[in-house]
Structure formats: C-alpha cells, structure tokens
Structure 1
Amino acid sequence: MSKPKESKNMLVGLDIGTSKIVAIVAEVLEDGQLNIVGMGHTPSRGLKRGMVVNIESTVQAIQRALEEAELMADCKIHEVFVASPAATSRA
C-alpha cells in the first residue's frame, strides 16, 4: 500500500447542500491552476430546507463524502473550504 500524498499543495472544497454533499480535492499546480484529483459525494442526511435537523446524520454524510474524496485522491484531508446554504449557519 502506498503512502498518501502530501496535502500541502491540495485544496479541498466541501459543498453541503440540501440534496447532496460533495467534496472535491484539487492539486495546485506550479502555474496556479487546479487539477481535480478526487471527488466524493453522498446524499444529504440530517438537513431539511437548508437547516440541520439531525447533526449526527449530517456529520456522517460529510465524513462519507470526504472519505470517498480521500480515497480517489490518495491523500489525507486536514482542511476544507465549505459552501453551505446560508440558513444552516444561523445560530
């Protein structure tokens, strides 16, 4: 089994939507361009109309999408940029 790639030249985006959660892993090239090297997606669980209604289900869905992206990209994810509906961020 090979050692996962270093994540220092990687960017990870996470889109938390009401219907699905998508994680994208991109390698930052020397010229600044991005090369998509991994993706994971799963149906959203625990969200309703942009609001978290079951935090455990939501966390599990996010973890699943990130794990799929890690496997495809052969890297370990440590940081992500997150996009989510504005309603989910209300206190």
Structure 2
Amino acid sequence: MRDSMIEIEQKLKLIVAQNAIPTTSPDVIVRTSRPIEDLGMDSMQIINLFAIIEIEFGITIFDDMFAPEAIETFGGLVEMVKTCIKKSKHTI
C-alpha cells in the first residue's frame, strides 16, 4: 500500500492518540505536540508506540533513526516515519 504523506500523518495521529494515556483525540494532536509533555506519554509508551508504528507501516525503525527530534514532537515523528518508508521502498 502506498500511503500519501497526508495519509501517513493522519494514520500516525490515530496511533499516537490511541496510545497516549489518557487516550487523546487525534484532533488535538498537531505537529508541535510533544508526546511526553503534551500527551502524557512515558518512555515505555514511546517504545511501544515505535513497535506499533513498525507493524502498522511495515517498516523497521533502525537505531540511527532514533533522533531526539523524532521523540520531541509529533512533527519529528512524522518525518522519521516518512524517512523509514522511503528507505524501505529503496531496499525492496
């Protein structure tokens, strides 16, 4: 399945919203939302979130992709997933 960039962001919003504690509406998540400070996620939830993202998008998030900005904001997470998708398409 070829996800457009908008579809990727919308799908990520749903995944993040469903895994935030307490559960958050996808409508309140914006690119500047911070998973830890704004959405109440802890480090274990973020690790679980990355595992869910790998499954949902059929990608592998390699250690070198765990840049601090990928965790600091939702926008950073979106960009990291887009990069992983592009890399996975080149390795097939």
* TM-score w.r.t. length of structure 2: 0.33
Q: Which has the higher helix share?
A: 2
Q: Which has the larger radius of gyration?
A: 1
Q: Which has the higher strand share?
A: 1
Bigger RCO of structures 1 and 2 (CA < 8 A, at least 6 apart): 1
* TM-score w.r.t. length of structure 1: 0.34
